[in-house]
Amino acid sequence: MRLTLASVYSHDRCTLKDVAGGFGTVFEVGTSLRARFLERAKSQLADLPPVVLGTLAARLSALGHDIAIVSLRGDGPEARRLASRSDVVIVHSSLVDADAEARVLDALRDAGTRTIVFGAAASAMSSRFAPHADVVFVGEPEGASDATWRAAIEGELTGVLDVGSVADLDALPFPDWSAFPVARYRYAMLTARGPTLPIQSARGCPYGCGYCPWRVTARFRERDPDRVAAEARRDRDVFGAKALSFRDPLFNLDADRVRAIARGLRPLGLKWSAEMRADRLDRSLLEELSRAGLRSLELGVESVDRELLAAEKRKPPTHAQIEAVVRDARSLGIRVICNYVLGLPGDSLETMRETVRWAKSLNSFAVQFTVATPYPGTSLERRRALPVLDRPGDLTGFRATDLEGSVPAHELAALREWAYVSYHFRPRYVASFVTQAARALLD
């Protein structure tokens, strides 16, 4: 049968579907000219497919189906054209585009095309998606049995199906990127000399930060380092990848495992990125990872206020640990992205300004100032004035919402815009950015 894996986009800003626990984000800064410039710049930096789509392509093609990949930017003629060339359309759900996804699903069903929807949003809000799709997968669909997939595709199963989670990540096939537009995939933090592909060595996170959706949407599991290296080699040799973006919420829980992955990657000559905890890194490990190709490192800094984070059950690295990692990484040619969250309960305008001042002192290559977002299942969900089922598209990770115990949304939005603009338009930052970018071009 002709199966299409579809992603739906309704925003004109940079949208990532495989972050924030799989709920997705939309990069929003503000309304000023400088804010819009930053939004435009971010949209040019990255274009990567979610790993789950590649894994599903591998699973379903092995069952004998023809696989197509589509990104939809509308729910009218585009959806009708898709219906005409597909027997079944499988939609990757998100919070940020949930309303548009529902409209596309309706258009496809009206045209007589069978529909299946999956993803973190569909799993968290199955009742919202059920009226629009023939099948709603709750859980990790790439782990569903062959029999379940056959029955769902052929119409023998309908409604909401709980398929659970993947017990053994190493039992999954490598993602199959054959039907994907690999040549266009990029991550400018790594290389401009060829495609970047996503890869995953772990899912979920073992920490219990109350505001983080990763603790809700996926339990923590890790892959064998040899399998990770084998997939990386395959991506280089078969698909021409020049760089890899690890999509793990936490890459470096186990230092020995991280070193084993680095030993497997080093002979491949690939550049790569990953998100790590600063308190599980030191100069020696950073040197080893740099030799293996690490060129972009994300750190969850979150806030300058340790008590604020402790109230949300986060166990943050110390200021000294974070500052040392940023300094050492920079000296090794590793570009650091520091991630902050503004507007947690108890976070005042002054503590947020202090967090921004600390960010400026760290002066990392890039930053993200997200806002406290009441994702389903997190500690913040109950603090939102409206239920998550109402206006899920507001939960972009960057759009301020009114939360009990936090500053008003309009004040938070203004502060977030100030944080982004004032951070990036500083002489010290511009000089550092140009120096590191030039070094990257020579790498």
CA dihedral sign, ordered 134, 135, 136, 141: negative
Tokens (6 digits) for 160 = 């909401």
| pLDDT over threshold 70, residue 267 | yes
Q: Does residue 277 contact residue 314 with C-beta atoms inside 8 Å?
A: no
- CA 130 to chain centroid: 25
Looking at residue 318, the DSSP 8-state letter turns out to be: P
Residue found by looking up tokens 């199963």 in the block: 157
The backbone torsions φ and ψ at residue 97, rounded to the nearest 5 degrees and listed phi first, read -120, 25
CA dihedral sign, ordered 85, 3, 131, 394: negative
**Residue 278 burial class via C-beta count within 10 angstroms: exposed 0-12, middle 13-18, buried 19 and up:** buried
Reference 175, options 124, 123, 245, 118; nearest CA is: 245
Q: Quick one: how many helices (H) and strands (E) in the chain?
A: 16, 18
CA dihedral sign, ordered 344, 348, 352, 354: negative
| Segment (H or E) for 391 | none
Tokens (6 digits) for 304 = 């300058």
Separation of alpha carbons 433 and 443, rounded Å: 15
| pLDDT over threshold 80, residue 172 | yes
The predicted structure's pLDDT at residue 400: 93
| pLDDT over threshold 70, residue 388 | no
- What mean pLDDT do residues 421-442 have? 89
| pLDDT over threshold 80, residue 223 | yes
Query: pTM value?
Result: 0.94
Domains and CATH numbers, the chain: 2-36+46-169 (3.40.50.2300), 181-442 (3.80.30.20)
Lowest mean pLDDT among 26-35, 208-217, 296-305, 409-418: 208-217
Tens digits of per-residue pLDDT, 79-99? Answer: 888 888 999 999 999 999 999
The predicted structure's pLDDT at residue 386: 66
**Residue 110 burial class via C-beta count within 10 angstroms: exposed 0-12, middle 13-18, buried 19 and up:** exposed
171 pLDDT band (50/70/90 cuts)? very high
* DSSP E strand boundaries for 319-405: 335-342, 366-371
Q: Does residue 295 contact residue 272 with C-beta atoms inside 8 Å?
A: yes
Tens digits of per-residue pLDDT, 29-72? Answer: 999 999 999 999 998 888 999 999 999 999 999 999 999 999 99
